[in-house]
Amino acid sequence: MSAAASYTLFETAIGRCGIAWRSGLVVSTALPGADEAVTARHLLRRLPDAREAEPEGAAAEAIDLVRRLLDGEAVDLSVIPVDLGACPDFERRIYALLRDVPTGRTVTYGELAVRAGSPGAARAVGMAMGRNPVPIIVPCHRVLASSGRSGGFSAPGGVTTKFRILQIEQAGRSGEGSLLFDNLPLAVRNPSPS
Protein backbone atom coordinates (compact mmCIF):
# COMPACT_ATOMS: atom_id res chain seq x y z
CA MET A 1 0.00 0.00 0.00
CA SER A 2 1.37 3.41 -0.96
CA ALA A 3 1.82 6.30 1.45
CA ALA A 4 -0.99 8.82 1.82
CA ALA A 5 -0.76 11.95 -0.31
CA SER A 6 -0.42 15.46 1.06
CA TYR A 7 -1.61 18.65 -0.58
CA THR A 8 -1.55 22.41 -0.29
CA LEU A 9 -2.87 25.45 -2.09
CA PHE A 10 -0.51 28.26 -3.03
CA GLU A 11 -0.75 31.74 -4.48
CA THR A 12 0.42 32.49 -8.04
CA ALA A 13 0.06 35.33 -10.53
CA ILE A 14 -3.10 33.67 -11.93
CA GLY A 15 -4.68 32.74 -8.58
CA ARG A 16 -4.45 29.95 -6.01
CA CYS A 17 -3.17 26.72 -7.50
CA GLY A 18 -2.99 23.35 -5.79
CA ILE A 19 -0.42 20.60 -5.61
CA ALA A 20 -0.46 17.09 -4.13
CA TRP A 21 2.55 14.89 -3.49
CA ARG A 22 3.46 11.49 -2.13
CA SER A 23 6.84 9.88 -1.42
CA GLY A 24 8.77 12.83 -2.89
CA LEU A 25 6.82 12.90 -6.17
CA VAL A 26 4.14 15.31 -7.38
CA VAL A 27 0.98 13.29 -8.09
CA SER A 28 -1.55 16.00 -8.93
CA THR A 29 -1.86 19.72 -9.56
CA ALA A 30 -4.82 22.04 -9.95
CA LEU A 31 -5.05 25.38 -11.67
CA PRO A 32 -7.16 28.04 -9.94
CA GLY A 33 -10.86 27.26 -9.64
CA ALA A 34 -13.62 29.75 -8.90
CA ASP A 35 -12.45 29.75 -5.27
CA GLU A 36 -10.12 27.84 -2.96
CA ALA A 37 -12.74 25.18 -2.19
CA VAL A 38 -13.12 24.36 -5.90
CA THR A 39 -9.35 24.10 -6.34
CA ALA A 40 -9.04 21.82 -3.29
CA ARG A 41 -11.96 19.65 -4.50
CA HIS A 42 -10.23 19.24 -7.85
CA LEU A 43 -7.15 17.80 -6.11
CA LEU A 44 -9.16 15.69 -3.68
CA ARG A 45 -11.30 14.19 -6.44
CA ARG A 46 -8.22 12.23 -7.52
CA LEU A 47 -6.81 11.79 -4.02
CA PRO A 48 -9.73 11.61 -1.56
CA ASP A 49 -7.48 10.54 1.34
CA ALA A 50 -4.94 13.38 0.88
CA ARG A 51 -4.32 15.60 3.89
CA GLU A 52 -3.37 19.26 3.88
CA ALA A 53 0.28 19.77 4.84
CA GLU A 54 3.20 22.16 4.60
CA PRO A 55 5.09 21.46 1.36
CA GLU A 56 8.61 20.13 1.58
CA GLY A 57 11.23 18.72 -0.77
CA ALA A 58 10.06 18.25 -4.34
CA ALA A 59 6.66 19.80 -3.60
CA ALA A 60 8.20 23.01 -2.22
CA GLU A 61 10.59 23.19 -5.19
CA ALA A 62 7.69 22.60 -7.61
CA ILE A 63 5.69 25.42 -6.02
CA ASP A 64 8.65 27.78 -6.39
CA LEU A 65 9.13 26.85 -10.07
CA VAL A 66 5.42 27.14 -10.90
CA ARG A 67 5.25 30.56 -9.24
CA ARG A 68 8.30 31.73 -11.18
CA LEU A 69 6.85 30.44 -14.47
CA LEU A 70 3.55 32.21 -13.82
CA ASP A 71 5.49 35.37 -12.95
CA GLY A 72 6.90 35.28 -16.49
CA GLU A 73 10.24 33.58 -15.96
CA ALA A 74 11.21 30.94 -18.53
CA VAL A 75 11.82 28.08 -16.12
CA ASP A 76 12.02 24.38 -16.92
CA LEU A 77 9.30 22.46 -15.09
CA SER A 78 10.47 19.14 -16.55
CA VAL A 79 12.90 18.86 -13.61
CA ILE A 80 9.97 18.39 -11.21
CA PRO A 81 9.63 14.69 -10.31
CA VAL A 82 6.12 13.40 -11.01
CA ASP A 83 4.36 10.09 -10.50
CA LEU A 84 2.44 9.17 -13.66
CA GLY A 85 2.40 5.45 -12.86
CA ALA A 86 -1.41 5.27 -12.81
CA CYS A 87 -1.61 6.62 -16.38
CA PRO A 88 -1.81 4.30 -19.40
CA ASP A 89 1.40 3.81 -21.43
CA PHE A 90 0.26 6.00 -24.35
CA GLU A 91 -0.54 8.90 -22.02
CA ARG A 92 2.80 8.57 -20.21
CA ARG A 93 4.59 8.72 -23.60
CA ILE A 94 2.60 11.81 -24.59
CA TYR A 95 3.24 13.52 -21.25
CA ALA A 96 6.99 12.79 -21.46
CA LEU A 97 7.15 14.29 -24.96
CA LEU A 98 5.14 17.30 -23.89
CA ARG A 99 7.46 17.97 -20.96
CA ASP A 100 10.21 18.51 -23.56
CA VAL A 101 8.31 21.41 -25.18
CA PRO A 102 10.04 24.50 -23.78
CA THR A 103 8.42 27.54 -22.23
CA GLY A 104 7.15 29.91 -24.92
CA ARG A 105 6.67 27.19 -27.54
CA THR A 106 3.62 25.24 -28.59
CA VAL A 107 2.90 21.96 -30.36
CA THR A 108 -0.23 20.57 -32.01
CA TYR A 109 -2.16 17.48 -30.99
CA GLY A 110 -1.16 15.89 -34.31
CA GLU A 111 2.53 16.71 -33.86
CA LEU A 112 2.51 15.03 -30.45
CA ALA A 113 0.82 11.97 -31.92
CA VAL A 114 3.51 11.71 -34.62
CA ARG A 115 6.31 12.17 -32.06
CA ALA A 116 4.76 9.35 -30.00
CA GLY A 117 4.85 7.06 -33.04
CA SER A 118 1.06 7.15 -33.46
CA PRO A 119 0.27 9.33 -36.49
CA GLY A 120 -3.44 9.92 -36.74
CA ALA A 121 -3.95 9.75 -32.98
CA ALA A 122 -4.49 13.49 -32.46
CA ARG A 123 -7.88 12.85 -30.85
CA ALA A 124 -6.30 10.38 -28.40
CA VAL A 125 -3.70 13.05 -27.56
CA GLY A 126 -6.55 15.47 -26.84
CA MET A 127 -8.17 12.94 -24.53
CA ALA A 128 -4.82 12.47 -22.74
CA MET A 129 -4.61 16.24 -22.24
CA GLY A 130 -8.06 16.19 -20.63
CA ARG A 131 -6.89 13.51 -18.16
CA ASN A 132 -3.53 15.13 -17.37
CA PRO A 133 -3.10 14.73 -13.58
CA VAL A 134 -0.42 17.44 -13.33
CA PRO A 135 -1.43 20.39 -15.53
CA ILE A 136 1.21 23.08 -15.93
CA ILE A 137 3.98 20.64 -14.90
CA VAL A 138 2.94 18.53 -17.88
CA PRO A 139 2.21 21.66 -19.92
CA CYS A 140 -1.03 20.70 -21.66
CA HIS A 141 -1.70 24.42 -22.14
CA ARG A 142 1.03 24.36 -24.84
CA VAL A 143 -0.96 22.00 -27.07
CA LEU A 144 -3.01 23.60 -29.85
CA ALA A 145 -5.25 22.49 -32.69
CA SER A 146 -3.57 22.23 -36.09
CA SER A 147 -5.23 25.50 -37.15
CA GLY A 148 -3.33 27.35 -34.40
CA ARG A 149 -6.55 27.75 -32.44
CA SER A 150 -6.74 26.91 -28.78
CA GLY A 151 -8.48 23.57 -28.95
CA GLY A 152 -9.99 22.68 -25.60
CA PHE A 153 -8.75 23.01 -22.06
CA SER A 154 -10.43 21.07 -19.29
CA ALA A 155 -8.63 22.72 -16.36
CA PRO A 156 -10.60 25.23 -14.29
CA GLY A 157 -11.07 28.45 -16.23
CA GLY A 158 -11.02 26.55 -19.53
CA VAL A 159 -9.55 28.24 -22.59
CA THR A 160 -9.31 31.57 -20.73
CA THR A 161 -6.77 30.01 -18.33
CA LYS A 162 -4.89 28.43 -21.25
CA PHE A 163 -4.81 31.85 -22.97
CA ARG A 164 -3.49 33.57 -19.81
CA ILE A 165 -0.69 31.06 -19.31
CA LEU A 166 0.37 31.23 -22.96
CA GLN A 167 0.38 35.03 -22.75
CA ILE A 168 2.58 34.87 -19.64
CA GLU A 169 4.91 32.49 -21.49
CA GLN A 170 4.87 34.78 -24.55
CA ALA A 171 4.08 31.73 -26.65
CA GLY A 172 4.13 31.60 -30.40
CA ARG A 173 4.04 28.91 -33.06
CA SER A 174 7.33 28.29 -34.81
CA GLY A 175 7.94 31.24 -37.08
CA GLU A 176 4.57 32.88 -36.45
CA GLY A 177 3.99 36.00 -34.44
CA SER A 178 0.54 35.24 -33.04
CA LEU A 179 -1.79 32.45 -32.06
CA LEU A 180 -5.51 32.38 -32.71
CA PHE A 181 -7.82 31.55 -29.83
CA ASP A 182 -11.34 30.95 -31.05
CA ASN A 183 -10.99 33.77 -33.60
CA LEU A 184 -9.33 36.14 -31.13
CA PRO A 185 -5.71 37.05 -31.88
CA LEU A 186 -3.22 36.40 -29.12
CA ALA A 187 -0.65 39.06 -29.92
CA VAL A 188 2.43 37.66 -28.32
CA ARG A 189 5.84 37.37 -29.79
CA ASN A 190 7.70 34.16 -30.42
CA PRO A 191 10.77 34.31 -28.20
CA SER A 192 14.13 34.29 -29.95
CA PRO A 193 15.94 30.98 -29.61
CA SER A 194 18.89 31.18 -27.23
Q: pLDDT (tens digit, 9 = 90+) per residue, 29-56?
A: 999 988 999 999 988 888 999 999 999 9
pTM: predicted TM-score of the whole model, two decimal places: 0.84
CA distance 59 to 174: 32
- Range in 124-133, 137-146, 154-163, 184-193 the model is least confident about: 184-193
Position 192 confidence tier, pLDDT thresholds 50, 70, 90: very low
**Rounded distance, CA 183 to CA 118, Å?**
29
Catalytic machinery residues: 140
Supply the pLDDT for residue 151. 66
Average pLDDT over the chain, rounded to an integer: 85
DSSP run (H or E) holding 98: helix 89-99
* pLDDT tens string 15-29: 999 999 999 999 999
Alpha carbons 185 and 12: distance in angstroms, whole number: 25
Identify the pLDDT of residue 1. Answer: 53
Structural domains of the chain, ranges and CATH numbers in brackets: 6-79 (3.30.160.70), 89-186 (1.10.10.10)
Would you call 111 helix, strand, or coil by DSSP?
helix
